Structure 1
Amino acid sequence: MTVLAALLVTAGCSTRRVSGPAPVEDRGLVRPAAAPLPGAENAGKPGYYTVKPGDTLFRIALDNGQNWRDVQTWNGLTNPNAIEVGQVLRVQPPAAVAQPAPVVASTPVTPAGVVSRPLTDTAPAAAPIPAPTPAPASAGADELQFIWPAQGTVVSSFDEATNKGVSIAGKIGDPVLAAADGRVVYAGAGLRGYGNLIILKHNNTYLTAYAHNQALLVREDQAVRQGQKIAEMGSSDADRVKLHFEVRRLGKPVDPIGYLPKR
């Protein structure tokens, strides 16, 4: 998969793509010398990112392990589409301000075109869950023990250049489970190539992403538990029914197989 890199063509799924923040286009905008792009003074500094052609706020946030809404807030953006090539964005919390704890939304918001189901399952799925194995040797305070998000066969392996996660085969409607406790930081279809996508933030180190779903069963800012059914498998923006699953450590894609129990 070429970017989750990019938080994957539709087969057997009627879900319509939802337009998210539009990719940035370099249209040769000429600015007066006295009006540099926003944040230019921070270019190259740790915790900042310089916008490139084709970027979206969703993608930038995902690649830096952040909630896109937080990145929008840190940079005072009233419109998440209003970013320009060369603009420098803060992608880490301001040092002087503690990152606020997410607040559960009082009213569910479902992006247009995303198939949703009633939120009837708030407890972990009843199906047996494989026992987790210890985290990698570099375990620290934020290391986690993940479970498999689906029970099918792995049909596509991790490749840092072309496929940022693994693809797990299955049937339309098969359950997609949260790999660990966390909070939903994205639920929608605005990230090109991922179809109906859920992104969970587990702590300051780890995010997981679940793509190509037929239906999303959770909403942004909702807390979920390990093993909870969060989606139904589908083929949105994909060539077959499958779950594309990614693990991101500090924003960088890592091979999920190294973090999942052996089968």
Structure 2
Amino acid sequence: MAVKFCIPVISLTLLLCACGPSRYEPLRNVYRSPAPVLQGSHTVQPGETLYSIAWRYNRDHEELAQKNGISAPYRIYPGQVLSLDAGASYKPKPAPATAKRSTSEQTTRYKKPETNTKPVQEKVANQRHKKVDMVWSWPTSGPVIETFSLQGRVNKGIDLAGKQGEPVFAAADGKVVYSGTGLVGYGNLIIIKHNDSYLSAYAHNSRLLLKEGESAKAGQKIAEIGSTGTNRDKLHFEIRRDGKPVNPISYLPRR
């Protein structure tokens, strides 16, 4: 009798152990890794885009595209191997082209001397990165529960409290360049490209309402808050400039 009684108990114990803590172990958050990956390669998986791959490795999508000889609109395919090696082949984004006057017009028209001694490239970069060039809005109404930090407990964005099903809004006009679950730790994720420099990301959603290639207007509902890839209902929100995470609080309006 004792032997017959022990067998099912042992079997049940083993079963509980097998289905125990590992099942509920939280996924590793990619947004806890601050440093860019500057070497190696990545094999494209189904559903990935160049933008999501660049996001994963903390790289600028245009840099990866140029490094791998990929031109806009940056189409990639499953099985394609992308180099992550950072090298001299990458060239900075050129300044916007300006119309040139004819030679005769240049010689007959007086040109006022340049009084600003700052290099032209620096002026272009400053103009390109001015926050006033874009109007940002809060992606949800919940309070901030975790702030931006690239030191200590790294968080490459901000976390906002919310309840399952509450709306998530686009923080600015743009185009969806990724919508899926391919980035470990982000859960259901949407990435929006706003211009050549800025992208924003909305993670842990319970439902995604836009697909890759669709346009989004500022304030438009694009997803619903959830807990995918994390341990509570919340929205993880990031802004990246040229592939580098920046503090969203510096861009969002005061509440």
SS at match of 2:81: coil
**Whole-Å separation in 2 of the counterparts to 1:224 and 1:86:** 33
- What CA deviation, in whole Å up to 9, does each residue of 1:166-216 have, x standing for no partner? 000000000000000000010000011100000001001111000000000
Partners of 2:142 and 2:161 within 8 A in 1:
yes
| C-alpha distance in 1 between matches for 2:127 and 2:202 | 24
How far the C-alpha of 1:144 sits from its partner, in A, is 1.3
Alignment partner of 1:230 out of 217, 222, 235:
222
Task: Report the CA distance between 1:82 and its aligned residue.
Answer: 3.1
Task: For structure 2, list consecutive stretches of 5 or more residues without a partner in the other structure.
Answer: 1-27, 45-49, 95-124
Which amino acid in 1 is paired with 2:81? Answer: A
- 1:158 equivalent to 2:148? Answer yes
Which one has a larger percent helix, Structure 1 or Structure 2?
Answer: 2
Shift of 1:250: 1.3
Aligned CA RMSD, in angstroms, stands at 3.8
In 1: Cα distance, 2:63 partner to 2:210 partner: 17
TM-score when scaled to structure 2? 0.59
Q: Is the CA contact (8 Å cut-off) linking 1:197 and 1:210 kept in structure 2?
A: yes
Q: How does 1:207-246 map to 2 (within 5 A)?
A: 207-246=199-238
Verify the 8 A CA contact 1:3 1:163 in the aligned structure 2.
no
Of all paired residues, the percent bearing the same amino acid is 42
Change (3 A) 1:260 1:68: same
Q: 1:60 to 1:78 in 2, by over 3 A?
A: closer
- Say whether the 8 Å CA contact 1:164–1:254 is kept in structure 2: yes
CA pair 77-183 structure 1, distance change in 2 beyond 3 A:
closer
Contact 2:137 2:252 in 1 (8 A): yes
Against the structure 1 CA distance between its residues 55 and 194, is the aligned structure 2 distance closer, same or farther, given a 3 Å change threshold?
A: farther
Structure 1 residues 93 and 150, CA gap change in structure 2 (3 angstroms): same
1:66 matched to 2:34? The reply is no
> Are 1:202 and 2:186 counterparts?
no
From 139, 152, 156, the counterpart of 1:149 = 139
CA radius of gyration, larger in: 2
- Where does the alignment leave 5 or more consecutive residues of structure 1 unmatched? 8-48, 96-137
Q: For the structure 1 residues 205 and 52, does the alpha-carbon distance in structure 2 shift closer, same or farther, using more than 3 Å as the test?
A: same
| C-alpha contact 1:175 1:231 (8 A) present in aligned 2 | yes
Distance in 2 separating the partners of 1:65 and 1:195: 22
Q: CA deviation at 1:51?
A: 3.1
Kept after mapping to 1: 8 A contact 2:42/2:81: no
Task: Give the TM-score of the pair, scaled to structure 1.
Answer: 0.57
Q: Could you tell me how far apart the structure 2 residues matched to 1:149 and 1:79 are?
A: 32
Q: 1:140 aligns to what SS in structure 2?
A: helix
Residue 51 in 1 paired to residue 46 in 2? no
Could you tell me how far apart the structure 1 residues matched to 2:92 and 2:214 are? 21
Tell me the amino acid that sits aligned with residue 51 of structure 1. Q
